[in-house]
Amino acid sequence: MTDFHSKARTELLANPFRPGNGVAPPYLAGRDAMLEEFERYLGESHPLHANWTLTGIRGTGKTVLLGEFATRGERAGWLCLGRELGDRHRDDARLADAIADDCAALIRRCSSLAGLGEVIERAWQYVRPRRLSVGELGYEPAYETESRDAAEAIGAALVALGDALAQTDVPGVLLLYDEAHLLGDDRRLERYPLSSLLAGFGQAQRTSSRVRLVLCGLPTLSLNLKRARTYAERMFRHVVIGQLEPRDAWDALGIPLSGSGRAFELPLVGEIVDRTGGYPYFLQFFGGFLCSRVGRADVALTDYLALESSLLHELDLAFFEDRYLVAGTAGQRVLDAMARAGGRLSALSLRRTLADLPNVDVVVRRLVDRGLVYRPTRGTYDFALPLFGSYLRRRAELTELTGRR
Ligand SMILES: Nc1ncnc2c1ncn2[C@@H]1O[C@H](COP(=O)(O)OP(=O)(O)OP(=O)(O)O)[C@@H](O)[C@H]1O
Ligand SMILES: [Mg+2]
């Protein structure tokens, strides 16, 4: 009876939090300075670095910020196009196709802004028109049949886009690519998506930086870029995001609550800021969980303490468990060894600790590919998931208690 009432009441109370993937938070905390800098960058016609990278470990709010970049860009008159890269784009030809499609879509926007069919006609020859129709203009260009080098194809599509842009009053075009850490070059498979991308942009930006790129992803992206091309350093300004400063983490909780008809007592807010380490996804998750489980408008620290173990269990299922399971037995041994060492570990100590595990380097490389681990510096590894170490320790304790894995 009580349970039923408390459930019904919880549903009536507001829950302002939004834990999720790329879901805009109720209040975007701690990013004002960076957003101002981004707007300044858009305002510069010759920025020191034509492009940006936005990197951070999982759940730090990269996708949300990338979306905010696009919104602000459009507001400043730029044409913005976002894309989430996937495994298929590790193949350079498919990446080149995707970029050509994006350029074609943007050329279409340019030409409708300029009211010019002619721009399309000239630009279109370069960007593989097969997939997109220009129905209203009744234009049927000839296919590009010869297969071109991916870098050249990317460069040609971007130059065509630049030409179309030059016919408009639009200040520039921004391509925003998420999950770009997937693009590492792979010599063994002879795939060079990142090198092709850099060469293509390098070529197109030689004359103008009105077509710009924001690459977003796990920290591995920075290392991949350095490896791909020495001149990548000059092409990108590297922006790293992480957990929120305590003051901003307080705002991330407090501002959505104010005006929602609910309140968390101060010691509870302090506890959540502490336990989440200020990581955005966790802040949303803790806030959202408590709002959904406590049937009163005012939530106290004691409520959290009573719910803590079920909250952590649900967090583990939502954020960690699947990622840990896909690591496989060998991968899990590496992750467990890292957790025992407190997270960051040198390759050398890892090999020593796991002397009986064959091909440790290959196992680690697979963990990097799966986005579980990254290399903060040459020869060291760290978790690409925040608070992963404490999850693994919880898991180990539970395994010990139940005798199951
Ligand atoms: N600045 C912020 N303040 C408050 N909440 C935020 C902030 N940034 C992101 N969030 C919240 O954090 C969660 C994760 O955001 P997002 O998906 O953008 O992270 P991500 O870094 O892209 O994660 P992943 O690496 O898994 O793709 C979302 O629920 C989002 O609403
Ligand atoms: Mg994301």
**Is pLDDT at 133 greater than 50 in this prediction?**
no
293 C-beta closer than 6 A to ligand 1: no
Rounded distance between C-alpha atoms, residue 369 and residue 388, angstroms: 17
The pLDDT assigned to 112 comes to 85
Residue 120 has pLDDT above 80, yes or no: no
The reply to whether 247-322 and 326-402 are identical in fold is no
**CA 392 to CA 339: how far, in whole Å?**
7
Neighbours of ion ligand 2 (CB under 5 A): 62-63
Tell me the average pLDDT of the chain.
89
The ligand whose atoms approach the alpha carbon of 20 most closely is 1
pLDDT attached to residue 403 = 63
- pLDDT of the residue at 232: 85
Q: Tokens in use for 98?
A: 């995707």
pTM of the model: 0.89
Check: CATH 3.40.50.620 for 326-402? Answer: no
Domain boundaries, the chain: 32-240, 247-322, 326-402
Supply angle C-alpha 265, 262, 292, rounded to 5.
100
Quick one: pLDDT at residue 145? 36
Of 216, 219, 217, 286, residue with least CA distance to 249: 286
For range 152-178, the mean pLDDT: 94
Higher-scoring residue by pLDDT: 91, 144: 91
Is pLDDT at 202 greater than 70 in this prediction?
Answer: yes
Task: Name the pLDDT band for 125 (thresholds 50, 70, 90).
Answer: low
Q: Give mean pLDDT, residues 7-20.
A: 82
- Average of per-residue pLDDT across 271-296: 97
Q: For ligand 1, atom 18, which residue shows the shortest CA distance?
A: 61
What local confidence, expressed as pLDDT, does residue 343 receive? 86
Between CA 217 and CA 182 the distance in angstroms is 8
CATH 3.40.50.300 assigned to 32-240 = yes
Contact by Cβ (8 Å): 98, 165: no
Answer yes or no: are the C-beta atoms of 19 and 281 closer than 8 Å: yes
371 Cβ below 6 A of ligand 1: no
Closest residue (by CA) to atom 31 of ligand 1? Answer: 25
Annotation: CATH topology of 247-322: Helicase, Ruva Protein; domain 3 (1.10.8)
